[in-house]
Amino acid sequence: MAEQIAHEAQLSGEIEVDESYFGGHRKGKRGRGAAGKETIFGLLKWHGRVHAVMIPNAGHRTLMPIIQKKVQPASIVYSNSWHVYDKLDVLEFHHERIDHGRHLALGRHHINDIENFWSQAKRHLRRYNGIPRKDRHLFLAGCEWRLNIRPPAKLLKILTQWANLPA
């Protein structure tokens, strides 16, 4: 899986970007700045692939190089209205903001697909009742790979081939 993910091409077209926070249930602050959470950044091409990566922080110095490396210039990038994404306005992308405080979508413009990926990944990881921090990137790569290899019949075929089982 890791080899296949590492050799993926840049994303182009309409791309959603968002960050999420993974980790055990903690009392206190939720979301950005919550103690003990792992920050994950994701990019999702509409009707296409997802790319997710663990990051040390969600600052613009961390996010912008990832976006510039993984997204082709002239693509449309959709984000929430967090100030870190303001830097996209001066880069080579067309940037659209979705203010979740006012609405979840503006016509067909939204970041609901990447939010759905976060929900699916967290639901999948929850069944393991805690994953050591050093191994979270492997489980996250598995979630990313499963979404990118659709439909399920294709996924089953690939896994069967890897296991050298008769089809």
What was the pLDDT predicted at 102?
A: 63
Q: Is residue 101 assigned to a domain?
A: yes
* 3-state SS class at 44: strand
- Mean pLDDT score of the chain: 80
H-run or E-run covering 156:
helix 152-162
93 within domain boundaries: yes
Q: Is residue 44 part of a domain?
A: yes
Number of domains in the chain: 1
For residue 53, the enclosing domain spans 2-162
> What are the pLDDT digits (tens) for 34-53?
667 888 999 999 888 899 99
Is residue 122 situated within a structural domain?
yes
Q: Which residues pair with residue 97 across a beta bridge? A: 79
Residue 39 in domain: yes
Structure tokens at 46: 């509409």
User: In this predicted model, what pLDDT tens digit does every residue of 7-24 receive, in sequence order?
Assistant: 567 899 999 999 998 876
How far is the C-alpha of 12 from the C-alpha of 72, rounded, in Å?
A: 5
Please answer whether residues 26 and 16 qualify as being in contact, where contact means their C-beta atoms are separated by less than 8 angstroms: no
Q: Is 127 inside a domain boundary?
A: yes
pTM metric for this prediction: 0.78
Residues of the chain with pLDDT under 50: none
167 assigned to some structural domain: no
